[in-house]
Amino acid sequence: MPESHASTNRLAAETSPYLLQHADNPVDWYPWGEAAFAKAKADGKPILLSVGYAACHWCHVMAHESFESSDIAGLMNRLFVNVKVDREERPDVDQIYQQALALMNQQGGWPLTMFLTPDGAPFWGGTYFPPDARWGRPGFPEILERIAQVYEEKPDDIDKNVVALKEALGKLSTPEAGGQVLPEAGLQAAQRLARQIDPFHGGLGEAPKFPQPAILKLLWQAWLRSGQAPLRQGVELTLLHMSQGGLYDHLGGGYARYATDEAWLVPHFEKMLYDNAQILDLLTWGAQDASEPWKRALFAQRARETVDWLLREMLAPAGPGGPPSGAFAATYDADSEGEEGKFYVWSAAEVQEVLGAEASVFAEWYDVTTDGNWEATNILNRLNRLEPGDPATEAKLAEQRARLFARRADRIWPGWDDKVLADWNGLMIAALARAAPVFGEDDWLTAAERAFAFVVEEMQEDGRLRHSWRHGRLKHPATLDDYAFMSDAALALFEATGKRVYLSQAETWVAVLDRHYWDTENGGYFLTADDTERLLVRPKHAHDNATPSGNGVILQVLARLWHLTGQASYRERADATVAAFSGELARLFSAMASFLLGSELLHDAPQLVVVGDQSDPKMREFLASRWQISAPTLVIQTVTSEENLPRLHPAYGKSRVDGEPAAYLCRGTSCSLPIVDAQDLKDSLRELRG
């Protein structure tokens, strides 16, 4: 149990649920900021930087073992100035020090434990440290004493580390430039990545397995362009096992962060908004164009269940205990009652108690046994029953799941991080906007518009986005990712609704990026603005992590804006972004899927222009035809007349036919003859996308 202490530390004034979890630690924590650096300089002490997030299991473990220990906290307070950072609130800070750790040839992750000079320069670090020596690793107290001793007695060694790491970090923020990316680059990368797909369970590589949606998107779009079946098969196999395995919450919906095993059975149980947003895109495409009807039906079901979870459990409150704000919360914890996964797992006896005589049927379909499939308990899954049963069986299983879900609601829930992040909301808003017309769910589109309005109205100051909001308090300047993901969301809403206010908002945000984030010397966008807090370096890269790269997504936004408006400035900025990072492709292609998708979109995106009145039933038929097939690179505009299109647009001058709505499919500078039948449009779209 945590040791008791009488008072809170400086974190009590913060908004982050993660920082507030540490507000009553005996550690004299500072939040990231000038006060901490001034204190370190005044006292001549190094800084101990600890970075984590609210849903992180091993962050909780280290907190209980070390930060809640009066003895270890006393050592930390005596030897260091201690700084605690929520990596979700400060992705810029986290990224710099994760890169520094990687440069030390150490595996990154959370909790991140870094030792810095009073100037913020890293000189040594690691991740989780146990409270005493175990697993061949020294205990945390021993680490603390040794680091403090070296800092005091061997300043030259510290200086050497600092200089080397600073130089290396600077190089990482200056990616290798190159020329334009050839149209076949995405297909070639996808073909190489497809060979890394586990042929039995899906997913890339061995355990642990992460969804890696950006790579799956690259494979899917390469299949659409080439027709090469193995590319689609790799995506389907992965999505199928993720959706039938323990990674998926079969009672409540939504996907966990990653699986600790190769078969997708054992999740790391936290649920993140950004994972579920990106997976929703893949489920939508699978529901449109998977290879078999039962797979399309399964992916559609998982999409609906995931959005049900989102709208039921992930709407952030306007204030403590208040009504929903309309925006989406960040994460659910992996732990409840101090145990990872306790909220989600079942014993055979518990299932029997709830379902009675019907328990045996449910147990057969969901892998429930007396001995359990994980640590003497059961993670519900259908890995041994990938294909659905007959309709009557599936209806009975659905009723049983509902009963178990109701019982689970009485358990102690995992921690909920209800802060609103602009970038993660952008990912989910875009996914909802793309999914809503596919599934005919107007409520999803309404939810996306409501969340978008919240970000615009509540998360901007003086025309500039802020990164984080919680209970009425805005925190931290926006990053490139905030602007890129929200701009992508704006364009997704524009294409789904035809409302030009969304197009205008995307253009406004891109103008802010150009003014404050653009690298005028080398091209590409920095993660941080030119007028915000000065960090050790200004990160700049185009590789995906758990979320897509900001430069990859803004490249896609610029490409769409070029196709939608015909403004040469968007094409020029997109070309310069490609050139800024393309020299990295040969070395980092597997981490640059979003960048490759943007390059492809820029080079050759098909366009659909529908001219007519929005209230005309035939207009709705045209749009419904578009949403029945997977065509992620298709750029859509609905206009009332040709005057709504830019003069340089290839469809400028096209009009209705005999007063009736007409559709035009364009590629490059040419467009089709008018299409006046919805089925003809659908057939033409299938031909055009390849």
**Strand partners of residue 666:** 607, 671
42 burial (CB, 10 Å; 0-12 / 13-18 / 19+) is exposed
Query: Does pLDDT of 241 surpass 70?
Result: yes
Query: Does pLDDT of 2 surpass 50?
Result: no
Query: Does pLDDT of 254 surpass 80?
Result: yes
Q: Cα separation of 178 and 579, whole Å?
A: 5
Q: Is the Cβ–Cβ distance between 165 and 563 less than 8 Å? A: no
pLDDT at residue 288, rounded to an integer: 96
In 229-357, alpha helices (H): 229-244, 273-289, 293-313, 348-355
**3 state DSSP class of 469:** strand
Query: Does pLDDT of 647 surpass 90?
Result: no
Integer angstrom CA distances of residue 491 from 77, 125, 174: 49, 41, 29
Integer angstrom CA distances of residue 527 from 213, 484, 598, 659: 21, 10, 18, 49
Q: Which band of pLDDT confidence, cut at 50, 70 and 90, is reported for residue 644?
A: confident
254 burial (CB, 10 Å; 0-12 / 13-18 / 19+) is buried
Q: Which band of pLDDT confidence, cut at 50, 70 and 90, is reported for residue 643?
A: low
281 burial (CB, 10 Å; 0-12 / 13-18 / 19+) is buried
pLDDT at residue 1, rounded to an integer: 31
pLDDT at residue 669, rounded to an integer: 83
pLDDT at residue 655, rounded to an integer: 86
Q: Cα separation of 480 and 176, whole Å?
A: 20
Q: Which band of pLDDT confidence, cut at 50, 70 and 90, is reported for residue 642?
A: low
Chain-wide mean pLDDT for the chain? 94
Query: Does pLDDT of 214 surpass 60?
Result: yes
111 upstream amide cis, omega within 30 of 0: yes
Provide the phi-psi class of 467: left if phi over 0, else alpha when psi is between -120 and 50, else beta. Answer: alpha
Query: Does pLDDT of 6 surpass 50?
Result: no
The DSSP secondary-structure symbol of 207 reads S
What is the arithmetic mean of pLDDT over 316-330? 94
* Distance in angstroms between the alpha carbons of the first and the last residue of the chain: 60
- Express each pLDDT in 84-136 by its tens digit: 999 999 999 999 999 999 999 888 899 999 999 999 999 999 999 999 988 77
- Express each pLDDT in 402-435 by its tens digit: 999 999 999 999 999 999 999 999 999 999 999 9
Query: Does pLDDT of 178 surpass 70?
Result: yes
What is the arithmetic mean of pLDDT over 625-635? 92
Of the chain, the percentage scoring pLDDT greater than 90 comes to 88
pLDDT at residue 690, rounded to an integer: 54
Query: Does pLDDT of 206 surpass 70?
Result: yes
- Express each pLDDT in 32-91 by its tens digit: 999 999 999 999 999 999 999 999 999 999 999 999 999 999 999 999 999 999 999 999
Q: Which domains does the chain have, with CATH numbers?
A: 10-172 (3.40.30.10), 185-334+416-604 (1.50.10.10), 344-408 (no CATH), 607-689 (3.40.30)
Of the listed ranges 81-85, 144-148, 532-536, the least confidently predicted one is: 532-536
- Express each pLDDT in 560-619 by its tens digit: 999 999 899 999 999 999 999 999 999 999 999 999 999 999 998 999 999 988 788 888
Q: Which band of pLDDT confidence, cut at 50, 70 and 90, is reported for residue 297?
A: very high
Q: Which band of pLDDT confidence, cut at 50, 70 and 90, is reported for residue 646?
A: confident
Query: Does pLDDT of 384 surpass 50?
Result: yes
**pTM for this model (two decimals):** 0.96
**Strand partners of residue 248:** 255
Integer angstrom CA distances of residue 666 from 610, 612, 649, 670: 11, 17, 10, 6
